[in-house]
Structure 1
Amino acid sequence: MIEDLRMIIPGANEPELLFCLKRATKDVVSYTKQDESYCSVNLSEYIVDLAIIRYNRLNTEGLQSESYSGVSNAFLNDIPEDIKKALRSHRKCYK
């Protein structure tokens, strides 16, 4: 997965990529309630997608939106709905 991130975000700081990948993996494990090895094998594309989102959000922690000269930016605070939809079929259900 780190190779995919390096290809998508060339020249990025390696520790930052690893941090984002680790946090994205934790997000997917937490959401699906699957173990990390299952997620790494079966859900790697979604982990990479979340890692990219996390990388793009670095240094904007705590912000919901901002505006400069009429241009506004809104920041995601959760897993995007399209990724959640894909992950739902992998969620463990407890009885």
Structure 2
Amino acid sequence: MTELEKLKLMIGESNENLLSLLLSDATELVLSYTGRTELPVALNKTVRDLAVIAYNRMGAEGESSRSGAGESYSFDAAPKQIYDVLDRYRLVKIGGRTYEAKAEQAGDVLPPGGSP
């Protein structure tokens, strides 16, 4: 099942263009926050969670709170548990540069002993 199909099930929205945009924006946010160029598979759920939050906040952009009919709502940034997950995947800068491990290709793997 694709991430788009999972998001459709979670929120019951059928507009695939909107959902794709929300997933794309959430992915960009995650990559920017973590300093990565590729999304680790372990962060797919976090991306979906951020897309759901963005979907639920549509029409309330820029608001910090809302009240009416005896109910009040406050809008925080993403919940702390999302940042807790993202912080585990955040890359550290060393000397102003960020180093990200790349997946090794079969031809790049050295044989036992370390020399070709």
Q: How many residues align?
A: 92
Report the alpha carbon displacement of residue 40 of structure 1 after superposing the two structures with TM. Answer: 5.3
Higher relative contact order (CA 8 A, sep 6+): 1
Q: Aligned partners of 1:33, 1:17: CA distance in 2, in Å? A: 24
* One-letter amino acid of the counterpart of residue 36, structure 2: Q
Amino acid at match of 1:15: N
Distance 1:55 1:32, change over 3 A: same
TM-score by length of 2: 0.72
CA distance in 1, matches of 2:31, 2:13: 28
Please give the alpha-carbon distance, in whole angstroms, between the structure 2 residues aligned to 1:47 and 1:40. Answer: 11
Other-structure match for 1:29: 31
Task: Summarize the Cα distance change of 1:54–1:73 in structure 2 as closer, same or farther, 3 Å threshold.
Answer: same
Contact 1:2 1:18 in 2 (8 A): yes
Task: Please name the residue that 1:75 is paired with.
Answer: 75
Q: Which has the larger radius of gyration?
A: 2
User: CA separation in 2, counterparts of 1:45 and 1:83?
Assistant: 10
Residue identity over aligned pairs, in percent, reads 36
TM-score, normalized by length of structure 1? 0.87
Matches within 5 A, 1:9-88: 9-35=11-37, 37=38, 39=39, 41-76=41-76, 78-88=77-87
What is the RMSD computed on CA atoms of the aligned residues? 1.4
